[in-house]
Every structure is written in structure tokens, then in C-alpha cells.
Amino acid sequence: MNCQHTEKQLIDYINHNLDDKTHKQIKLHLNKCNDCQLALEELQTIFNAIDNAFQEYPDENLRENFEIMLQKEKAQRKKSDSIPLHQKENKLWKSVFQIAASFALLFMGYLYGNNQNRGAHTKELSVMEQENLQMKTAMTISMIENESASKRLQAVNFAKEFEHPGNEILNALINKMHYDNHVSVRLAAATALNKFSNQEVVRKALISALNTESNPSMQIELIQILVGIQEKRAIPTMEKILQDDKTPAYIKDEIKVELSHLI
């Protein structure tokens, strides 16, 4: 603790605004250092002087003079012949305008506030919806890979309820449609994707699923979906299945009937 340091903190020292440690350090320093001791005494003198300074009040005469002056001014104003800025007959209109303006202002304020409020509301709502959607998505995604086929099927049915599914959901559905071990899940995924067939990625996935699928029930479902959405790019795949010797006769017949709706 040097002199410079102590000097800076002397005022706080006098007012007891320092923590214990600093207070003690300064006290120690003051005991050793005469200069600082002197500075302290000076400061204390000044403070004492301020505390004990005589409070000066204005003279009684001043007040009386002021009162007289005020009376005079008031009297003069009463008999004033200055011309008013507005004529009397305009006064009514003026107040009407004033009231109308204040109402208009109030109304505008209300509108603004309302609008502001509604903005905040929709924002809040959309945040909530967003969170809800995220939760639903997370639940669906976690369940869609479950060991139980029935739970996977439920997750797929759940995904179907989305109005605007994110990529995560779409990819999960596409994956299920292609690779799930059970045709029940694949088929449910295909019908769910039919709902979102306005998206190119979904249409392409439906075509590629028909290309690889070997279960007849699933083939029929995919053909019906693709014809339903008028996907002409599926024609080569359908013709390929038609020419395959392994394809059951009733699937071939189905394709022939459906192709006529597509071309």
C-alpha cells in the first residue's frame, strides 16, 4: 500500500466505505506515513467544515417583495388588452377538433398496441407449435426404429398426421418404405408418403420403391399411388415388372389396367 494508493481511498476511508481488509491496510499505512496522516487530517477538516457550515436562508424582505411583485403582475394581466389569437366562435370547433384528435390518437394507440400484442402472440404461438413439432418429430423418429413392428407401424401412422413434415420425418418414412422388415410397415409408410407426394423427393422415392419391391401387396399399393398422383416416370418400372416372369398374373393384370389410366 503506497501513498498514492492510500490518498485515492482516503475519502472512502473516512466514510467507512471500504472492506475490512483495505481499511486495516490503510490504517497501518497511515500510522507509518506522516504525509498521508497529514492529508487525512486535511480532508477531515474540510469534511467537518462542510458539515458545520452555516445554512444561509433568504432574507424575509425578499419574500415580501416577491409577493408584491406577483400581485402587481396578476392585476396587470386581468386588464390586459392583448388580442387573443383565436376568435371566440372558433373555440367550439377547436375543442371539437381537439377531442376528435385525441380520440384519433387514442384509437391509433389502441390499434398499434393491439397489433404489437398480436404480433407477440403469434410469435409465442409459433414458438409453441415449433416446440410441439420438434417433440412430435423426436418421438416419431425414436419410435420408428423400434424392435417391435407394431410400434414402428404406429410411428409411421403418427408421421402421417404431420401437416408439413420436416426432412427428418420424410427421410425416415422413405427409409421405412424401402427397407422395413415387415410389409405392413412398408405399406403404411407408402400410404403416408402418398399424402406428401407434392414433394419431388417423395415422388422419386415412390418410383424407386416400386423398382425394388417384391411383395405383391406392396406392388399393388405403389402402383395405385403412382397412378393416383399421375407419375408418368413410373411407366418404365411398371413395364419392367410386367415383363418379369416371376410377377404373379394378378399383378400383371393390375398393371395393365392401371397403365391405361396413366398414358
Q: Is 17 helix (H, G, I), strand (E, B) or coil?
A: coil
Residues in 80-119 at the binding interface with another protein, rule: CB under 8 A? none
Burial class from Cβ neighbours inside 10 Å (0-12, 13-18, 19+) for residue 241 reads buried
* Collapsed DSSP state (helix, strand, coil) of residue 30: helix
Is 193 a residue that touches another protein (CB under 8 A)?
Answer: no
From residue 153 to residue 172, what is the string marking binding to another protein with x (rule CB under 8 A)?
A: xx--x---------------
The least CB distance from residue 226 to another protein, in Å, is: 10
228 binds another protein, rule: CB under 8 A: yes
Which of the ranges 87-95, 145-153, 164-172, 238-246 carries the binding residues for another protein, by CB under 8 A?
A: 145-153
d(CA 103, CA 97): 10
Q: Give dist(CA 52, CA 72) in Å, integer.
A: 40
> Cell 422413405 appears where?
174
Alpha-helix residue ranges (DSSP H) falling in 33-182: 34-52, 60-78, 90-143, 149-160, 167-179
- Number of helices followed by number of strands (H, E) in the chain: 12, 0
Confirm or reject binding of residue 10 to another protein (CB under 8 A). no
As a whole number of angstroms, the distance between CA 102 and CA 152 comes to 64
Burial classification of residue 212, based on how many CB atoms lie within 10 Å of its CB (0-12 exposed, 13-18 middle, 19 or more buried): exposed
CA–CA dist 249, 11 (Å, integer): 104
Q: Which stretch binds another protein (CB under 8 A): 5-13, 31-39, 82-90, 253-261?
A: 253-261
- Verify binding: residue 224, another protein, rule CB under 8 A: yes
Residue from 10, 133, 183, 259 touching another protein (CB under 8 A): that is: 183
DSSP label of 166: -
| Among the residue ranges 6-14, 89-97, 122-130, 218-226, the one whose residues contact another protein (CB under 8 A) | 218-226
Using CB under 8 A as the binding rule, whether residue 261 contacts another protein is answered as yes
Is residue 182 near another protein by the rule CB under 8 A?
A: yes
Q: Tell the smallest beta-carbon distance from residue 165 to another protein (Å).
A: 19
d(CA 147, CA 122): 40
CB closer to another protein out of 9 and 184 = 184
Other Cβ atoms less than 10 A from the Cβ of 91: the count is: 11
Which of 1, 43, 133, 220 binds another protein (CB under 8 A)? It is 220
Among 112, 150, 166, 204, binds another protein (CB under 8 A): 150
Please, what is the minimum distance in Å from the beta carbon of residue 181 to another protein?
8
CB of 185 to another protein, least distance (A): 8
Please report, as ranges, the residues that interact with another protein according to CB under 8 A. Answer: 147-151, 153-154, 157, 182-185, 187-188, 194, 215-217, 220, 224-225, 227-228, 248, 250, 254, 257, 261
